[in-house]
Amino acid sequence: MIDKMKYAAFFIAVLLIASCGGTPDYSPKPRGYFRIVYPEKEYQAYTEGCPFTFDYPKYGTIEPDRSRGAKPCWQNIQFPQFNATLHLSYQPVTSPKEFNELVEDAHKLSFKHTVKATSIDEAAIAYPARKVYGVYYTIDGNAASSAQFFLTDSTKHYLRGALYFNSEPRLDSIQPVLNFLKKDVDVMIKTFKWKKS
């Protein structure tokens, strides 16, 4: 019996000595995210039957908008590997009143994200040689859409764009992809032209 007690005491002593080597440095690990592999920036021209052209990335696919109420030349540029969609809606302008209403709608639709946005910045777009004008809205925070814009020639044409991710908006996780796709939106705007009618 005494031998068993000696062995038990020895075993407990060894455990205590081994465990008293100091407290381990432990801190919670941050949440991990998938590693994102970005494709090379290569662009192609959109020249379909709509009254405008622009360059868009080869890793994006353009599909007609199939939602209820969609009109001709409403397009969606899908970015499946990023789970994102750039919605484009074209509207011919028939009067100055309609033009003013479309511009006001773009402003309202961008600012409806104020509830979740930390800031909304507006930047003017102006390419007079191509008669392309508009406003680019950068929406910061956990808003559903982080980038919106409209383009117009101020008389006959109007196009609105909105970039959405098909997941819960969490800026900390989508920020790198958002920055990557915003560069593509910039290229689209810089290469945008109205077709001659």
Residue 159 lies in a domain: yes
User: How open is the CA angle 68-71-75, to the nearest 5 degrees?
Assistant: 95
Residue 60 lies in a domain: yes
Residue 21 lies in a domain: no
Residue 27 lies in a domain: no
Residue 84's pLDDT is 93
Over residues 85-105, the pLDDT tens digits come to: 999 999 999 999 999 898 888
CATH number at residue 105: 3.40.1000
- What is the average per-residue pLDDT within 59-68? 93
pTM of the model: 0.77
Provide the domain limits for residue 176.
Answer: 51-194
User: How open is the CA angle 190-191-195, to the nearest 5 degrees?
Assistant: 130
Sheet holding 193-194, edge to edge: 43-46, 52-57, 193-194
Over residues 75-87, the pLDDT tens digits come to: 999 999 999 999 9
Residue 24 lies in a domain: no
Q: Is the Cα torsion angle 53, 39, 167, 184 positive or negative in sign? A: negative
Taking residue 192's Cβ as centre, other Cβ atoms within 10 Å add up to 21
Name the 3-class secondary structure at 98. helix
Total domains in the fold of the chain: 1
Contact 183, 43 (CB under 8 A): no
Over residues 116-168, the pLDDT tens digits come to: 667 778 899 999 999 999 999 988 877 777 889 999 998 999 999 999 988 77
Residue 10 lies in a domain: no
Residue 22 lies in a domain: no
Strands (E), the chain: 43-46, 52-57, 61-64, 75-79, 84-92, 117-127, 132-141, 145-152, 157-165, 193-194
How many residues in total does the chain contain? 197
Does 52 score more than 80 pLDDT?
yes
Q: Give the CA distances from residue 85 to residues 76, 78, 148, 166, 167, in Å, rounded to whole numbers and listed in that order.
A: 6, 5, 12, 7, 11
Mean pLDDT rounded to a whole number for the chain: 85
Residue 130: alpha-carbon gap to chain centroid:
27
